[in-house]
Amino acid sequence: MLPEIGQFSLILACILSLLQTVYPLYGVHTGHQGAIRSAKIFTILQFVAVATSFVILSYSFLINDFTIGYIATNSNSALPWYYRLSAVWGAHEGSLLLWVFLLSTWSIAVALMSKRLPIESVARVLAVLGLLAFGFYLFVILTSNPFDRTLPYFPIDGRDLNPLLQDFGLVIHPPMLYMGYVGFSVAFAFAIAALLEGRLDSAWAKWSRPWTMAAWMFLTVGIALGSWWAYYELGWGGWWFWDPVENASFMPWLAGTALIHSLAVSEKRGVFKSWTVLLALSAFSLSLLGTFLVRSGVLVSVHAFASDPTRGLFILGFLVLVIGGSLLLYAIQASKVKSRGRYQLVSRESVLLINNILLIAALIVVLLGTLLPLVHKEIGLGSISIGEPFFNRMFTILIVPFALFVGVGSLFRWKRQQLNDLKKPLTMILILSTLSTVIFLFTFAPSLTWLAVMGTFLGFWIIVGVIYEIYLRSTHRHRFSKGVMKLGNSHWAMSFGHFGLAVMIIGITMTQNYSIEKDVKLAVGQHIAFEHYDFHFDQVKPHNGQNYTATMGVFTVKKDQQEIAVMEAEKRIYTVQRMPMTEAAINAGFTRDLYIAMGEQLPDGAWAVRIYYKPFIRWIWLGPLLMAFGGLLMLCDRRYRSKKDNIENSENKPAPVGGTDA
Amino acid sequence: MLNKRRVLTLLVPFIIFIIGAIFLATPLLKGSDPSKLDSALIGQAVPEFTLQDIYDADKQYDASIFKGQKMLLNVWATWCPTCYAEHTYLNKLAKQGLYIVGMNYKDDRKKAIRWLKDLNDPYKISLFDKSGMLGMDLGVYGAPETFFIDSNGIIQYRHVGDLNNKVWNDKLLAIYEDMQ
Amino acid sequence: MIQLNKVNKLLPLLLAACMILFSHASQAAIDTFEFENAQQEKTFHELTKLLRCPKCQNQNIADSNAELAKDLRNKTYELVKQGQSKDQVVDYMVARFGNFVRYDPPVTPATIFLWLGPLLFIIFGLLVLIRQIKKQPAKANNLDDQEQQKLQQLLKQHAKDTKS
């Protein structure tokens, strides 16, 4: 009975989402106030309906209702309760339900938190969100119903959740990622609403900015979590594989990053407006494209969902309607937009646009790298692979100008910057960052490579640039201690965002250049030493979990004769799916990780063991967390929470000044 | 009042998207499987090799067996469930008079012989590639695979996956008949 | 003796075995090769990261635990030990498995867009930026339509206020 209610409320939500689109738009068109106000009511009702559906599916997972086919395939009664709950989004159908649930969550947030916006604008935005939801509801109901029953012959127990997904990282990774993907729909809806209305002004940029930032923040954390999970769970010690599925999440992130910067310019200076709108449309379009790539099976990937051409065609049709329609609307409406602001070549506007161009160039690298193999095969030229060597090379090239501009971009003044005024700060930053690089590499690098020197320098260039800029701004009118307290949240947001990027660049540089990998044959009692570390293989013992059996290798690690850790690496067999899994032992540290993965037992009784020394790998995830924290700071800025929506207010704010005031 | 040139410029993203969408749609409509690869050896002769007969370790073959008539080279193994599914159809093709050479790939000789005795042997010649040596040179990446070889010993096509009535009639028969 | 009917019974088992063999590589692929010198070891590791396993979903042969990946690793090891260079090994693999096997695509008229696409975009973007700056009206006008309207309203309001 319960599943039927779940299914029913899903259908109800579908109908409500259509009403949420049609009625308010009719209201805006005719000026019917009641119809305009109905947008909010339909949004709330739709949320209640889909939430009911989601809760019912989760509850059915908790009580092991194997009469539901989806649960029978993706859960098991021996599964711990928290994994039964996260199994809701462990496969295609449930993850789509999560997707629509989150879309509805964003919609209701917009409905409830936009009191200071004109009611017609909000109605339009909610109508667009309703239309997107409608498409996804149809998709769920018609092709991927999570409530399909296995009756009358239901299994006694389920086939279990994929052991790879039985992990804390995977409990929170998909919701975070989807919050990001789906969150861009708000920026998309604001853009479409503005295009429909024909008013692309600073107010539009101001309204969509916090929403975009929130979505970007979730996406950043989501991607970082995914990378972290892949690192410790897959047992290969890698943190990014340039797999199509990863690329699918990276593309909206690149577009979103460009968007949050471009929105800032559009809001503050009223320029780049049509570019900003295009980015807003792209960020969400790329999220949709990602969904298509992951679920249609057109590409080969490590972690794609079970593929199905019908589903693929459905999403593609939806994609064509949504993206094609919005781009067409864009072509017609954006041509009317005129840029009013004036700026010169050497100005903060230009620097921001140049980095926007670089971000989109990076996006094109990823897009072409992901899709070209498909086209290549389609036009009869055979299969090709595009992977790590290609992407790494391209990103190494693109990051150089990008990081250089990030480091000093905030020193540039709006409208016009005298290059002469930048001479002193640039020299200072150059000297200080070179010095930091030398000290850092001298302390942590065993040898020098060109790439390591360059990467570290770029990282410190940004860090020094950020700190120097904070210093200049604080001492502009006050003493440093007083001035630094006066810096706004938005300013700290920028500083943290850029600082996070620098931390990530340094982490990547160190990990890529100085990691050590040892594949060795070790018998119990033997040891291997490298990089001051000594790994002693103590014993092998059995170890059993709730739904798996494991063999555990125990290692004592010494550094310079001092015992620093006991590490336990497992080889697990999950009882239901009979799937072997490597559970690596990781000794994490701020400046290095030690990583041990057990391989096979060899005929002579010894074990194949892989040991990694990974310097600064934590920084790769610390960086994105700092960036996301920056985003959080911006959301806390008073400007976006004040009740009054005062355009003049934002215009009157003094444009951030450069290093030296002329 | 629309500025025509501006509209055209702004239409560029739309046009790029539509072209992209067409490329995304074609594999879905054609139902092509991205994990299936074309052989790198098409248009080339079968690589040199020396392999034993599956029944008789003293009997050896080399690449010259692929000349003289058009034929199929079927790569199979007893550990491969799809090969089991395919076997009946291979027997059917053999009965129709097709010349089929079998290559048992990375397998156990005894098990392979038993398989052929139990399920009937459709092969004119059965090669035994224990080490996967010829398999590597042919770029075999998953059994079953079937190579289409013309009378000059040149590889014209490779099919990955099982042979069955549907793929044979839809696609493979035409390729076979086009060969000399 | 496995009779025909036994084979039938074995089929699900075989299927399961193959699933384990091919569908997952969550298990680390670890070999214990020994090399004559550090250079060979380095070449070997670079190669196993560059070569793609044709059978598996999307993994290089270093990460994959599939049978075929193991074969390719062994072959790579053999060739490296013979003293073949990185390019020679890649060519060997491409001759057998096609360009699919290398993660670093060759430059051809079809793949050149991988490099040209981003480059052209950057050039195009910079040109547009420069053109925009040149096209700007001589006098700055920081307000857009809505703001303009609002300003007018305020001015009117102000005028009224001062009159009354």
Per DSSP, B146 falls in state: E
The answer, for B161 touching chain C at a CB cutoff of 8 Å, is no
Average the pLDDT over B149-155 and give the result: 93
Whole-structure pTM value: 0.90
Question: For residue C6, what is the nearest residue in chain B, using CA coordinates?
Answer: B118
List of chain C residues with pLDDT < 50:
1-26, 140, 164
- Residue A12, pLDDT score: 97
Is residue C9 domain-resident?
A: yes
Of A577 and B10, the structure prediction assigns the larger pLDDT to B10
Interface with chain B: mutation pick from C19, C59, C68, C135, highest number of B CBs within 10 Å: C68
Contact A335 B38 (CB under 8 A): no
C1 neighbourhood in chain B, CB within 8 Å: 114
- Residue A419, pLDDT score: 86
Using DSSP bridges, classify how beta strands B71-76 and B100-105 pair: parallel, antiparallel or unpaired: parallel
Q: With CA atoms as reference, report the closest residue to C56 among C23, C17, C30, C20.
A: C23
Ordered by start, the domain boundaries in chain A are 167-334, 388-514+619-652, 516-616
Q: Which chains does chain A touch, 3 or more C-beta pairs < 8 A?
A: B, C
Is residue C96 domain-resident?
A: yes
Of C37 and A642, the structure prediction assigns the larger pLDDT to C37
Average the pLDDT over B146-169 and give the result: 92
Q: How far B156 CA sits from the closest chain A CA (Å)?
A: 15
Task: Say whether both C96 and C123 belong to one domain.
Answer: no
Asked if A29 and A48 touch (Cβ cutoff 8 Å), the reply is no
Write the residue in A300, A341, A384 that is nearest to C142 by C-beta.
Answer: A341
Distance CA B126, CA B102 (A): 5
- Residue A335, pLDDT score: 82
Average the pLDDT over A194-209 and give the result: 89
Write the residue in C15, C67, C95 that is nearest to B81 by C-beta.
Answer: C15
Of A157 and A181, the structure prediction assigns the larger pLDDT to A181
- Burial zone of C127 (CB within 10 Å; 0-12 exposed, 13-18 middle, 19+ buried): exposed
Contact A378 B25 (CB under 8 A): no
Task: Say whether both C35 and C79 belong to one domain.
Answer: yes
Task: Say whether both C79 and C118 belong to one domain.
Answer: no
Distance CA B176, CA B178 (A): 5
Asked if A495 and A470 touch (Cβ cutoff 8 Å), the reply is yes
Q: With CA atoms as reference, report the closest residue to A291 among A256, A245, A239.
A: A245
Question: For residue C99, what is the nearest residue in chain B, using CA coordinates?
Answer: B40
Phi then psi for residue A146, to 5 deg, are -75, -10
Q: How far B66 CA sits from the closest chain A CA (Å)?
A: 25
- Residue A641, pLDDT score: 61
Mean pLDDT of chain A: 90
Average the pLDDT over A317-336 and give the result: 93
Q: Is the pLDDT of residue A582 over 90?
A: no
Average the pLDDT over A133-154 and give the result: 91
pLDDT-based confidence at A163, cuts 50/70/90? confident
A371-385 per-position pLDDT tens digit? 999 999 888 888 899
Asked if A369 and B44 touch (Cβ cutoff 8 Å), the reply is no
Query: According to the 3-state scheme, what is the secondary structure of A373-409?
Result: HHHHHHCCCCCCCCCHHHHHHHHHHHHHHHHHHHHHH
Q: How far B152 CA sits from the closest chain C CA (Å)?
A: 20
Mean pLDDT of chain B: 90
Write the residue in A296, A300, A320 that is nearest to B35 by C-beta.
Answer: A300
Task: Say whether both C118 and C72 belong to one domain.
Answer: no
Distance CA B177, CA B161 (A): 20
Task: Say whether both C65 and C128 belong to one domain.
Answer: no
Number of domains in chain C: 2
Contact A374 B18 (CB under 8 A): no
Tell which B residues from 137 to 166 touch A, by Cβ distance under 8 Å: none
Average the pLDDT over B35-57 and give the result: 90
Average the pLDDT over A452-457 and give the result: 97
Is residue C107 domain-resident?
A: no
A375 neighbourhood in chain B, CB within 8 Å: 23
Task: Say whether both C87 and C12 belong to one domain.
Answer: yes
Token pair in block for residue C147 = 């703001």
Contact C103 A301 (CB under 8 A): no
pLDDT-based confidence at A37, cuts 50/70/90? very high
Domain of C145 in residue numbering reads as 113-163
A227-241 per-position pLDDT tens digit? 998 898 877 778 999
Task: Say whether both C90 and C118 belong to one domain.
Answer: no
A618-636 per-position pLDDT tens digit? 999 999 999 999 999 999 8
Q: Is the pLDDT of residue B142 over 90?
A: no
Token pair in block for residue A158 = 């389920």
Contact B28 A335 (CB under 8 A): no
The ipTM value here is 0.89
Is residue C108 domain-resident?
A: no
Average the pLDDT over A233-261 and give the result: 91
Is residue C80 domain-resident?
A: yes
Contact A389 C146 (CB under 8 A): no
Contact C103 A345 (CB under 8 A): no
User: B23 in helix, strand or coil?
Assistant: helix
Interface with chain B: mutation pick from A372, A378, A381, highest number of B CBs within 10 Å: A378
- Residue B49, pLDDT score: 92
Is residue C106 domain-resident?
A: no
- Burial zone of A539 (CB within 10 Å; 0-12 exposed, 13-18 middle, 19+ buried): exposed
- Residue A251, pLDDT score: 97
Q: Is the pLDDT of residue A122 over 70?
A: yes
Average the pLDDT over A77-87 and give the result: 91
Task: Say whether both C69 and C13 belong to one domain.
Answer: yes
Contact A382 B25 (CB under 8 A): no
Q: Is the pLDDT of residue A420 over 70?
A: yes
Task: Say whether both C54 and C127 belong to one domain.
Answer: no
Q: How far C106 CA sits from the closest chain A CA (Å)?
A: 9
- Residue A281, pLDDT score: 96
Of A565 and C154, the structure prediction assigns the larger pLDDT to A565
A40-57 per-position pLDDT tens digit? 999 999 999 999 999 999
- Residue A307, pLDDT score: 64
Distance CA A378, CA A623 (A): 39
Which CATH superfamily does the domain covering B50-178 fall into? Glutaredoxin (3.40.30.10)
